[in-house]
Structure 1
Amino acid sequence: MSKSLKFAGSAVGEPWWVLGDITRRLLEPLGYEVEVLSASGSTNNPRYVGGGKADLGASVPQTIGWAIAGEHLYQGETFAELRAIGRVRRPSWLVAAARHELGFTSLHQIAQSDYPVRLLTHDLESIASVVPKQVMEYYGLTKEAVEAKGGSVRKIGQGDFRAGDIDVILANLYMGRSAVTKHWIDASVLLNLRFFDFDDELLAQLAANGHGGTGEVPFHFLRGVDKPVKALNRHDGILIYLPADTDEEFVYDLTKLYDSNRDLFFNQAVHMAWDPAAVVKTSPLQLHAGAERYYKEAGLL
């Protein structure tokens, strides 16, 4: 096994990058050099791990599943056979909110009005937008419908909350305070937000399609969450994964390091947990043989 490794993460400070940094901290005392990549976020992550650009990485199970099945943005692509080391728990939700002064109490009202709404969401050309686009379609707030009324759909990172040039936000919300939650934190401070419940029908549809389940944003987690807010629970966690042909002894040793240092996952700006009850549940990937051997010896399998 090479002593110089590349970990496919995401932007600095985001959860996948944090997992790469934890990996670096654990392996460096053993003589490894670990470079945590940031260009491998979002859609690109399986392409890095499954395409030979990285030795291991971290991504959400759904994205990995779409990649190996050739679905959505991965149509026609092929990847090396992949295996998982384990699943890290990370609370997250898909949430919608609008500026309170607009007077809207639901996304339905916004769609039925003539208001030229300025909607902020995930990049519509990235894999992160697959589920938000289904929500937009359900409520009649597709990019085409919004622009037909003179509005706009912008990706996260565009727009100025301080200037008040965003009306609606539809985006993932993660437990913690880091780069990946910055847009929600800033918006809740600089704007007076009203958070919307998602319809039960929509939540049932999304659950049936494997996108999550019914959940609630934690009370007072953000300014404006002053009551239970019904949202899409996306607590499927994050998989740490690598090519199936990775050295078995290396994977065994790394799995043991992760399991022996569980506090490193919890003590991060993004709330994560190396949970023995969940770590071995790695669908859509099988466990790597090295990880499976460790978990059996540790009594976790």
Structure 2
Amino acid sequence: MKKSLKFAGSSVGEPWWVLGDVTRKLLEPLGYEVEVLTASGSTNNPRFVGGGKADFGATVPETLGWAIRGEENFKGETFVPVRAIGRVRRPSWLTAAVRYETGFTSLEQIAASGRPIRLATNDLDSIASVVPKKVLAYYHLTKDEIVANGGEVRKMRDVDWRGGDIDVIITNLYMGRTAVTKHWMTASEHMNLRFLDLADDLIAQLGADGHGKPGHVPFHFLRGIDRPIKALDRVDGILIYCPADTDEDFVYTLTKLYDSNRDQFFNQAVHMAWDPAAVTNTEGVELHPGAVRYYREAGLL
């Protein structure tokens, strides 16, 4: 196995990047040099690992599954076979909030009002928008519908949160102040937000389609969350994975390092856990033989 490796992460501080940094720290004492890539976030991650630009990486199971099957943003693309090393747990939700001054107390009221609104959500062209767009469609808050009423849709990263120039937020949320979740934190600090429940039937349908399960954003998680908020509890795993032909002994050693250093995942700005009860549940992505060998020896399989 070569000693100079590339890990497909995401922007600095994001969960996938953190997992790459953990990997770097664990492998350095063994003489490996690991570069954690930042251009491999979002849709690009499977393209880097499956396209020969990275030796391993981390992404969410849903994105990896779409890439393997050539679905969503990966239609017409093909990649080398990949295998999972392990699943790291990280709580996350799809939730919504409105600026308190709008007077809205439910998402249903927004479209029914016909008022022009300013909506902040994911980049609608990115893989991260696949599920949020289903929520927007359910509530008749698609970009076309909002624009038709004189409103506008903005990417989360383009909003001036301190200026309070946004009315509705619908996007993902997870623990940790990162390039993604800092927008929620800044918004809740500088704006008066009312967090809104998602409809039970919407959550049930998204769950039936494999996008998560019924859940709640915890009470007091952010300023303005004055009760548990009904939300879509997203699949809480992040998969560390690699090409299927990666050296078996190397993957065995890496898997053992991960399992022997579980505290490295928890003691981060992004709260994650290497949970022995969940690490082999890789959401249909086949485990690498090197990982299988370790898990069987450790009694986890």
Q: 1:44-68 CA distances to partner (integer Å, 9 max, x unpaired)?
A: 0000000000000000000000011
Please tell me the residue identity of whatever aligns with 2:12.
V
1:82-127 per-residue CA deviation (whole Å, 9 max, x = no partner) reads 1000000000000100100110011110111122111001110000
The answer to whether residue 176 in structure 2 is matched with residue 176 in structure 1 is yes
Residue in 1 aligned with 2:197? 197
The residue aligned with 2:96 is 96
Alignment of 1:89-168 (within 5 A): 89-168=89-168
Is the contact between residue 13 and residue 180 of structure 1 (CA under 8 Å) also seen in structure 2?
Answer: no
| Cα distance in 1 for residues equivalent to 2:113 and 2:180 | 31
Q: Which residue of 2 aligns with 1:264?
A: 264
| Structure 1, 177-186 or 261-270: larger mean CA deviation | 177-186
Deviation string 1:156-196 (CA, Å, 9 cap, x unpaired) is 11121111111111111002233331011000001100000
Partner of 2:70: 70
Give the Cα–Cα distance (whole angstroms) in 2 for the partners of residues 116 and 4 of structure 1.
Answer: 53
Match of 2:273 in 1: 273
Distance 2:181 2:270 in 1: 9
Is the contact made by 1:61 and 1:236 (CA closer than 8 Å) also made in structure 2?
Answer: no
Give the structure 1 partner of residue 219 of structure 2.
219
- Measured in 2, the distance between the counterparts of 1:159 and 1:178 equals 16
The amino acid across from 1:74 in the alignment is: F
Whole-Å Cα distance in 2 between the matches of residues 29 and 189 of structure 1?
A: 42
**Cα distance in 1 for residues equivalent to 2:110 and 2:222:** 22
Whether contact under 8 Å (2:211, 2:235) holds in the other structure is no
Report the identity percentage. 73
1:219-262 per-position Cα deviation (integer Å, ceiling 9, x unaligned): 10000000121000013310000000000000000000000000
CA contact (8 A) 1:15 1:180 kept: no
Q: Which residue of 2 aligns with 1:283?
A: 283
**Alpha-carbon distance in structure 2 between the residues aligned to 1:7 and 1:54:** 6
AA of the residue aligned to 1:160: D
Report the AA paired with residue 232 of structure 1: L
Offset from partner CA, 1:133-160 (integer Å, 9 cap, x none): 0000000000000001111111111121
Partners of 1:292 and 1:12 lie apart in 2 by 30
Structure 2 residue identity aligned to 1:36: V
The equivalent of 2:38 in structure 1 is 38
SS at match of 1:239: strand
Q: Which amino acid aligns with 1:287?
A: L
Paired residues for 1:203-242 under 5 Å: 203-242=203-242
- Report the counterpart of residue 12 of structure 2 in structure 1: 12
State the superposition RMSD in angstroms.
Answer: 0.7
| Bigger shift: residues 12-21 or 179-188 | 179-188
Task: Give the counterpart letter for 1:8 in structure 2.
Answer: A
Once the two structures are TM-superposed, the CA of residue 284 in structure 1 deviates from its matched residue by: 2.5
Which deviates further from its counterpart, 192-201 or 110-119? 110-119
Question: Take 2:284 and 2:68, find their aligned partners in 1: how far apart are those partners?
Answer: 9
1:173 aligned counterpart, secondary structure = strand
Kindly provide the amino acid, as one letter, of the partner of residue 262 in structure 2.
R
Deviation at 1:29, TM superposition (A): 1.0
Is the contact between residue 83 and residue 286 of structure 2 (CA under 8 Å) also seen in structure 1?
Answer: yes
Q: Is contact 1:8-1:56 (8 Å) kept?
A: yes
What secondary structure sits across from 1:205 in the alignment?
helix
* Map of 2:298 onto structure 1: 298
TM-score, scaled relative to structure 1: 0.99
> What TM-score do you get using the length of structure 2 for normalisation?
0.99
Cα distance in 1 between the residues matched to 2:178 and 2:130: 23
